[in-house]
Each structure stands twice: as structure tokens, then as C-alpha cells.
Amino acid sequence: MSVSAPIGLRIRHPHFEVPDDFDPRWNRRAPEFACVANSVSLLMPYIEPYFVRSTRAVLEGPEGLEPDLRRRAEAYAAQEASHHREHRRFNDLIRRRYRRLGAIERAVRRTYAWLGRTRSLEFSVAFAAASECIAYTIARWTADHYRDVLAGAAPVAHDLFMWHLAEEVEHKSVAFDIDRAYRHSGARYLGAGVVSLALLAVFSIASTVVMLARDHLLHRPTTWWRLLRWALSFWFALAPALAVSAMRSHHPSQLSDPSFYAAWLRSHDGAMSASDQGALDVS
């Protein structure tokens, strides 16, 4: 299926100044969501380098990609590398408050390193594509629930997650197109999606419980009510999205994006030194 490239995929180099006294409970109106978002943030320094390495392996391989997709793949890899860098800084402060997250983070690091060492490039590319479908659904879900989960958040946390989600929307088609161009298998894509979702669920739930316990929120009925409501609404958004994304006739460009992410990026691009060149390295 031939689909035109999206316009405006840009490489940004933001730097979010997180003060040393930053409170990881960054949204007093929805502290449970702050814990969930922090849990997802803890995965970023490990899962996104996996995406970047997979993408660059395809770019450097003998089969390569056609020029337009190559350009978008390079920009996608640079955006993901930037996410990894900024979340690592943010996560340093999260770990200071929640010391017990160390064991979970070590398990995360070992798991994604193991995937990178042992899985085929075909699986890794499919894993990235399915994970980007999940990330795009998270972005759409957050847009629909913005007043519940991000309104009133501390500015640095708000902007970090808004920037990340906005770029997930911006590059929603790239990993999908790479997978379709590189030995695509529908069964492998769905299998990789199940693995990606399972890892996201296991690690984020474990980290969220640690943070909620530390903040004495586990015993509150409102905590469980909010988490259950959010989880159910997200699942009903994600399940059909992941299934539809595996259909031969589907392409992410067919989906309507939340408009306020693009507006947010336009208002912040100058401060983030946007450019169209220069991929970032991932160690």
C-alpha cells in the first residue's frame, strides 16, 4: 500500500530543566496518574534505544529503505533517542523518592537488552511498530482524558509528557511503514504487539504499586476507582486499535489525530531548537 509521507516530522532537542527539589507526585489533582506516567517513563531509557537500534539496523542493512522512508526513519530514530535522553534525567529524580524501584528498573533493563540480543531483526522491527500503535493510542487516550490526568500538573512534567505524546502522534506511521517494507508478517506483528503490551503492563503495574504504597495511596477507594476506570477505558481504546492495525488494508494515516498536540508543538518548537538534521546517538 503506497501512502504519502507525513509533513512536518522534525528533530527537536529540548532540555527540560527538572529542579533537584522536584516532587515526583507532580499532579496533586490526579496523583495516581502521576504514578502511572512515572512508571511508563521508567521504561523509556530501555525500550526506546531498542527501537532506535532496530531502525538503524534496517537502515544500514543490505536491503535498505526507499529514500523517502529512509528520511523519515532517520528522523524517527532521532526523535526516539531524544525521548530516551530526557526521560533518563526525569527518572533520576523519581528514583530518589522511590528507592524500591531499583529492582524493577534492573529487570526492565535486562529484559529489553535480552530482546535486543536474542530476537531477530524482523521481530524487533515488528515490536517497534506494534509498540508505536500502543503509544499512539496512549496519546489519543490522554487527549480524551486531558482534564482528568494532565490538567493542573507541574509545568516541567506536563511539558515533558506533552512533548513526548505529541511526537508519538507526529511519527505514528514511520515504524509501521518500516515493518511493512521489511519482511512483514501479520502474525509476527500481532505476536510482538502482545509481548510489548504484556511487558508494558507488568512493569508499569509493578512500579505504580511501589509508588502508590510509598505515598500511602493504596488503601484509598478513590485510588482503585480511578485506576480501574482509566484501565478499562484505555483497554477499550487499545484492543480494537491493535487489531485493526494488523489488517492488510490499514495504515495509521487513516486515523484522525488529536489537534491540540500539533498546536502545542507549534507553540513550543522555537524553544526546543527544532531542526531537520542530526540524529542522536544511543549508547
Q: What is the pLDDT of residues 237-247, one digit of tens each?
A: 999 999 999 99
Whole-number pLDDT of residue 268? 82
**Which domains does the chain show, CATH number per domain?**
31-272 (1.10.620)
Please tell me which residue, 152 or 4, carries the higher pLDDT value. 152
Task: Render pLDDT for 236-278 as a digit per residue (tens, 0 to 9).
Answer: 999 999 999 999 899 999 999 998 898 998 888 766 754 444 4
Question: Scanning the structure block, which residue is given the C-alpha cell 503492563?
Answer: 201
The three cell numbers locating residue 215: 505515598
What is the end-to-end Cα distance of the chain in Å, rounded? Answer: 35
Answer yes or no: is pLDDT of 129 > 80.
yes
Q: Tell me which amino acid residue 148 is.
A: D
Burial string for 129-145 (b: 16+ CB within 10 Å, else e) reads: bbbbbbbbbbbbbbbeb
**Residue 253 contacts residue 170 (beta carbons within 8 Å):** no
Q: Say if CB 98 and CB 210 are below 8 A apart.
A: yes
User: What pTM, to 2 d.p., does this model score?
Assistant: 0.91
Q: Sort 223 into a burial class: Cβ within 10 Å, 0-12 / 13-18 / 19+.
A: middle
* Sequence-ordered alpha helix ranges (H) in the chain: 31-60, 67-97, 101-118, 121-144, 146-149, 155-170, 174-181, 186-214, 221-245, 259-268
Residues facing residue 275 across a β-bridge: 11
Q: Is 11 helix (H, G, I), strand (E, B) or coil?
A: strand
**What is the tens place of the pLDDT at every residue in 66-100?**
999 999 999 999 999 999 889 998 999 999 999 99
Separation between Cα atoms, residue 258 and residue 12, nearest integer Å: 20
Write the CA distances from 93 to 19, 21, 98, integer angstroms: 9, 9, 9
| pLDDT for position 15 | 84
Give the count of beta carbons closer than 10 Å to the beta carbon of residue 118: 8
